[in-house]
Chains A and B, each alone.
Chain A
Amino acid sequence: MDGSTGGAALTAADLRGSAARIRKEALIRRGLFGAAALSIVINLLIIATLFDGTLDFLANVDLSALWSDGWFPRRDLFDIRTIVAGTLLVSAIAMAVAAPLGLGAAMYLSEYASPRARRRLKPILEVLAGIPSVVMGFFALTWISPNVMQRFWDATAFNMGAAGIGVGILITPLVASIAEDAMFAVPRSLREASYGLGAKRRHTTLRIVFPAAVSGIVAAMILGLSRAIGETLVVAIAAGGTGGSLFNLDPTGPGQTMTAAMTALATGSDQVKGASEAFPSLFFVGSLLFLMTLALNVVSERFVRRVRRRY
């Protein structure tokens, strides 16, 4: 600032600031950019890891083993249909639980609850969201299985139905929170227009708010489904596919999902050292899982963006 004395004209050099300050600024900027760019590196590493492991697996495995009698890595049988069908079955049951519960809770919190009731009811979902999936797995095996699946159906102790219900409970808070955000984003003016015409609250909720928020609600469902497909430990504990599994679409019986197959491969019940392809198959299943959830996440993102653009 020494140039400004004596009424001399101010030059650009005077306003530039000290060199040390600029250097420090650039350094910090670069460091922060590095931290942000790390996410790209991580993403590329994940893709490279999965790709490399999958190629390794496919190059060595007998391709007919991918379409065989069941998922028995120890016997070199890697039937994709078995684990994909198991995953889809468990996810379908989970969505049958989470969709009505999550949507109902979201509608109540967004359209009916007073601010006070909201403050008291919201923590139910928040606490539920904080339950680790190992805990839900134990609950699915020791409570849901005997008290729901075995009471109403002729189910075995380990069954896919209990695992599906457990996963459904686990993703309910997620579905509820995204659906609630979507309905909350619907402008007040739409509701007031509806009330002005004499519509009841129920009709306003179902015929005005719901259609206006529908893309966000669809996004909530898709994201819930994506989470259900990737959910691991509930299935690993309660579905009972430890030693491998035959193709099974019966929720009262044990079965194998993609994620449970991966834990089984890693925890040793299936782990065989040596020439077997059991270990590399981990990466193959992982790639499948990655692609499925990626596709669902991208689609749900589209839907979310549509809501955001409109209001």
Chain B
Amino acid sequence: MSRRGVLATDLTPTELVRRRLGGRRVDVAGRLFEGLLLTALLIALAILLTLLVDIFRDAFPVLRERGTDFITSNVSSLPERAGVRQGIQGSLTIVAFVAVLAFPLGIGAAIYLEEYARDTWLSRAINANIRNLAGVPSIVYGLLGIAVFVQFGGLSAVTGGRSVISAGLTMSILVLPIVVITSAEAIRAVPDSIREAGYGVGATRWEVVRSHVLPYAAPGILTGTVLTMARAFGEAAPLVLIGAATGFLSTGSGGFLEQLQGPYTALPIQVFDFATRNLREFQSSTAAAIVVLLSILLLVNAVAIVLRNRYERRW
């Protein structure tokens, strides 16, 4: 910005304009600003790398000495024997509940809102409700779980109180609004011409949805549901309230239902439990449990990315 330098000389106006427009001055302030913005992203990257490196370094001793033994061992109060088998099992069970309950209900709700609902006060109220539910802090869902599934007379007989059933039901309610919102987005992206093709040959609304809309919306819905699974796998706050066991756990005798109704734990809960114990003894185990957790999440996310890249369609 050497404005003064140019103006100070006694050049003819023509020459002055030519210099002002033709110069190859570097916009220093602009470059600095761009650099500043890029720095924000680079800081995020640096934090991410630091986090991963720090956790891997902490986890290394346990992973090297115990290897798969850490994954196949049960809960224990001794850091050298504690493992995450029950945590993985509990988290997978919770994700199974989410897949069976939240996915069909959420996708169904999305179909209703996008394909069936007219713009009435009721459908607007449902939409507002779903947006509100998506913003409710996850720990509040834990309170809902306590009141409805753990303590409420009739239901607690089925769920067994503080059990993996209660946890799975609570987690299904927690992720339901996310499933609805991502599925609705995918359905909305299908152009109307596709629907009109269906109606044109005399199909009913549901037939259009099933044969025309859903197949085209499927990749988007699938990506959304896979990411939701990751969320359900890593979420711990409501489970802390539902009372995931952190101490002794039976190692799995009894019938299928009995096991579901009994005490349980989940992988992120084990991380929380390890981290809040005597940290000096458990730091390495905590990090190792985190490595297991992150590996599973990474795998799930990779699946989502592959699905998106393979089936994504632009209209």
Asked if residues A128 and B44 are in contact (CB atoms below 8 Å), the reply is yes
What chain B residues lie within 8 Å of A200 (beta carbons)?
A: 27, 30
A52 to chain B, nearest CB (A): 7
Q: Would you call A8 an interface residue if the criterion is a C-beta within 8 Å of the partner chain's C-beta atoms?
A: no
Q: Which of A28-36, A75-83, A88-96 contacts B (4 or more CB under 8 A)?
A: A28-36
Residue of B nearest to A271 (CB): B243
Q: Would you call A209 an interface residue if the criterion is a C-beta within 8 Å of the partner chain's C-beta atoms?
A: no
A131 to chain B, nearest CB (A): 7
Residue of B nearest to A111 (CB): B37
In residues 1-51 of chain A, which contact B (Cβ within 8 Å)? Answer: 17, 21, 24-25, 28-29, 31-40, 42-43, 45-46, 49-50
Q: Which of A65-73, A137-145, A187-195, A246-254 contacts B (4 or more CB under 8 A)?
A: A137-145
Q: Would you call A245 an interface residue if the criterion is a C-beta within 8 Å of the partner chain's C-beta atoms?
A: no
- The total of chain B residues at the interface (CB under 8 A) is 82
Q: Would you call B222 an interface residue if the criterion is a C-beta within 8 Å of the partner chain's C-beta atoms?
A: no
Bound: A142/B59 CA distance, A = 12
With A49-B144, A132-B234, A172-B44: A262-B39 Cβ-Cβ less than 8 Å: no
Q: Would you call A218 an interface residue if the criterion is a C-beta within 8 Å of the partner chain's C-beta atoms?
A: no
B109 contacts which of A24, A36, A101, A301 (Cβ < 8 Å)?
A36
Residue of B nearest to A282 (CB): B143
In residues 228-279 of chain B, which contact A (Cβ within 8 Å)? Answer: 230, 234-237, 240-241, 243, 246, 268, 271-272, 275-276, 279
In residues 174-208 of chain A, which contact B (Cβ within 8 Å)? Answer: 200-202, 205
A264 to chain B, nearest CB (A): 10
Asked if residues B40 and A108 are in contact (CB atoms below 8 Å), the reply is yes
Chain A 215-254, CB-CB to B under 8 Å as 1, else 0, gives 0000000010010011111001100001000000000000
What chain A residues lie within 8 Å of B30 (beta carbons)?
A: 200-202
Q: Would you call A127 an interface residue if the criterion is a C-beta within 8 Å of the partner chain's C-beta atoms?
A: yes
Q: Would you call A100 an interface residue if the criterion is a C-beta within 8 Å of the partner chain's C-beta atoms?
A: yes
Bound: A303/B300 CA distance, A = 34
A106 to chain B, nearest CB (A): 9
What chain B residues lie within 8 Å of A156 (beta carbons)?
A: none
Centre residue among B37, B123, B176 by max chain A CB count within 10 A: B37
Q: Would you call B140 an interface residue if the criterion is a C-beta within 8 Å of the partner chain's C-beta atoms?
A: yes
Asked if residues B125 and A40 are in contact (CB atoms below 8 Å), the reply is yes
Q: Would you call A272 an interface residue if the criterion is a C-beta within 8 Å of the partner chain's C-beta atoms?
A: no
Asked if residues A40 and B37 are in contact (CB atoms below 8 Å), the reply is no
Q: Would you call A256 an interface residue if the criterion is a C-beta within 8 Å of the partner chain's C-beta atoms?
A: no
What chain A residues lie within 8 Å of B135 (beta carbons)?
A: 223, 226, 293-294, 297
Bound: A42/B149 CA distance, A = 13
Q: Would you call B93 an interface residue if the criterion is a C-beta within 8 Å of the partner chain's C-beta atoms?
A: no
Q: Would you call A211 an interface residue if the criterion is a C-beta within 8 Å of the partner chain's C-beta atoms?
A: no
A196 to chain B, nearest CB (A): 15
Residue of A nearest to B21 (CB): A198
A43-B129, A135-B290, A263-B240 given. 19 additional CB < 8 A pairs?
A: A21-B204, A29-B116, A32-B108, A33-B112, A38-B109, A42-B173, A49-B143, A50-B140, A53-B147, A101-B40, A105-B40, A108-B34, A125-B44, A132-B234, A134-B271, A202-B30, A230-B138, A242-B276, A290-B140
The 5 tightest CB contacts between A and B, nearest first, are A230-B137, A104-B40, A132-B234, A35-B108, A108-B37
26 contacts between A and B (CB under 8 A): A32-B112, A39-B126, A39-B177, A42-B176, A43-B132, A49-B147, A102-B40, A104-B41, A105-B37, A108-B38, A112-B37, A133-B234, A134-B272, A134-B275, A134-B290, A134-B293, A135-B294, A138-B287, A138-B290, A142-B279, A205-B33, A229-B137, A231-B137, A232-B237, A266-B240, A293-B136
